[in-house]
């Protein structure tokens, strides 16, 4: 297949491009490099089936493709609050432009949505039928609400044009190629522990997250791109081992045998209390299962940050 990956130079996008090339596909990687980087593409640059397009996903583009995976968007709270309007535009106008590419080609369309559409969820674990609990005017709204709009637009293209769409709600993902200044909890804790400076736990650290290793996630995305059963579906992808942020801090410290203290800083506004995916649908429809244990995934990520 010929596949357009928007946000292909980013953390998840670059892992996806590499995997799609491995599977024998032709990959058009589109990115404006606002959070992505060409270094992430180094191993692919010379592959004749790979093409990098330096462009903003909000601009119209003409391409012949069999599938579109729309991943372009800042995804870390630090990034999207630094670029709130850009984030809202790539998830609205960028979703429209990439849907149009898919519609004109009768191509499969995959939207990389997020667990953030559940907001601060009142239901645990979160299944795909849970409509969420989102503050539409809070500091996270630029991301949450624009991703919700992206889902609504994608669902509308499915109804209106019969487009083959798949909406994936991606939960917390970590691994090599996360930026050092990304601001998310895994890169922060690993770098702090390596430097011997205090690990910054926000709030009292009792809030929970469930962390998925990037290779597992990318495997799920590839299955969703090819599966007939996935068409028209909304599917959670992530890992369902839930833990508190404080437990994660202790684990990272222990694994790196770090002398760092743990310091407690104010909890950011609207920080979700609990997050854990219900993966029943991913298991049933995609036959997918996250297989990398947290310790193993962290070990590989720590190696990368050391390098
Ligand atoms: N967090 C933290 N210390 C950090 C960075 C994040 O305690 O240095 C917390 C944050 O408040 C949240 C969780 O870790 O409760 C996950 O945050 P992250 O930014 O990784 O992603 P989110 O799940 O909030 O999108």
The C-alpha atoms of residue 143 and residue 114 are separated, in whole angstroms, by 9
Q: Kindly give the distance from the C-alpha atom of residue 163 to the centroid of ligand 1, in angstroms, as a whole number.
A: 35
Name which residue sits closest to atom 11 of ligand 1, judged by CA.
Answer: 202
Share of the chain above pLDDT 70, in %: 100
The C-alpha atoms of residue 165 and residue 156 are separated, in whole angstroms, by 10
Does domain 2-174+212-240+275-292 fall under CATH 3.40.50.300? My reply is no
Contact 51, 27 (CB under 8 A): yes
184 lines ligand 1 (CB under 6 A): yes
Residue range 181-193, pLDDT digits in tens:
999 999 999 999 9
Secondary structure letter of residue 223 according to DSSP: H
Preceding amide of 261 cis, omega within 30: no
Q: Kindly give the distance from the C-alpha atom of residue 307 to the centroid of ligand 1, in angstroms, as a whole number.
A: 24
The C-alpha atoms of residue 270 and residue 187 are separated, in whole angstroms, by 21
Secondary structure letter of residue 176 according to DSSP: T
Residue range 265-302, pLDDT digits in tens:
999 999 999 999 999 999 999 999 999 999 999 999 99
Question: Is 143 a residue of the active site?
Answer: yes
> What pLDDT score was predicted for residue 140?
98
Indicate the pLDDT class of residue 14, thresholds 50, 70 and 90.
very high
Pocket-testing residue among 81, 114, 209, 244, ligand 1, by greatest number of atoms within 8 A of Cβ = 209
Q: Give the residue among 173, 202, 178, 205 at the shortest CA–CA distance from 190.
A: 178
Tell me the average pLDDT of the chain: 98
> What pLDDT score was predicted for residue 293?
98
Q: Give the residue among 291, 147, 143 at the shortest CA–CA distance from 217.
A: 291
253 lines ligand 1 (CB under 6 A): no
The C-alpha atoms of residue 294 and residue 150 are separated, in whole angstroms, by 30
> What pLDDT score was predicted for residue 121?
98
User: pTM for this structure?
Assistant: 0.98
Atom of ligand 1 nearest to the CA of 199: 8
> What pLDDT score was predicted for residue 142?
98
Name which residue sits closest to atom 23 of ligand 1, judged by CA.
Answer: 172
Instruction: State the average pLDDT over residues 43-68.
Output: 97
Catalytic residue among 80, 118, 143, 213: 143
The C-alpha atoms of residue 232 and residue 167 are separated, in whole angstroms, by 8
271 lines ligand 1 (CB under 6 A): yes
Name which residue sits closest to atom 12 of ligand 1, judged by CA.
Answer: 271
Residue range 108-160, pLDDT digits in tens:
999 999 999 999 999 999 999 999 999 999 999 999 999 999 999 999 999 99
Instruction: State the average pLDDT over residues 238-250.
Output: 98
Indicate the pLDDT class of residue 1, thresholds 50, 70 and 90.
very high
Domain limits of the chain? 2-174+212-240+275-292
């Amino acid at each position: 297949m010929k596949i357009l990956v928007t946000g292909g130079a980013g953390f998840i996008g670059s892992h996806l491009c590499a995997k799609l090339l491995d599977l024998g596909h032709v990959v058009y990687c589109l990115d404006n490099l606002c959070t992505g980087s060409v270094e992430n593409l180094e191993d692919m640059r010379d592959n004749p089936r790979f093409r990098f397009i330096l462009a903003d996903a909000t601009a119209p583009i003409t391409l012949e493709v069999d599938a579109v995976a729309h991943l372009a968007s800042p995804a870390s709270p630090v990034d999207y609050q630094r670029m709130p309007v850009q984030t809202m535009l790539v998830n609205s106008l960028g979703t429209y432009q990439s849907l149009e590419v898919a519609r004109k080609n009768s191509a499969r369309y995959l939207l990389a949505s997020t667990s953030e559409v559940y907001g601060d969820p009142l239901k645990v674990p979160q299944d795909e039928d849970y409509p969420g609990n989102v503050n539409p005017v809070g500091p996270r709204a630029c991301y949450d609400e624009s991703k919700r709009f992206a889902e609504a637009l994608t669902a509308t293209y499915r109804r209106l044009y019969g487009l083959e769409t798949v909406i994936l709600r991606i939960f917390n993902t970590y691994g090599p190629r996360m930026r050092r200044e990304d601001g998310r909890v895994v890169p922060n804790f690993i770098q702090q522990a390596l430097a011997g400076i205090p690990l910054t736990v926000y709030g009292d650290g009792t809030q929970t997250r469930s962390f998925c290793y990037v290779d597992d996630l990318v495997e799920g995305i590839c299955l969703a791109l090819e599966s007939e059963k996935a068409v028209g579906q909304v599917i959670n992808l992530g890992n369902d081992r839930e833990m508190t942020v404080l437990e994660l801090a202790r684990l990272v410290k222990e694994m790196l045998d770090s002398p760092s203290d743990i310091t407690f800083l104010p909890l950011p506004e609207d920080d979700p209390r609990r997050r854990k995916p219900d993966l029943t649908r991913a298991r049933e429809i995609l036959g997918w299962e996250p297989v990398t244990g947290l310790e193993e995934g962290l070990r590989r990520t720590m190696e990368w940050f050391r390098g």
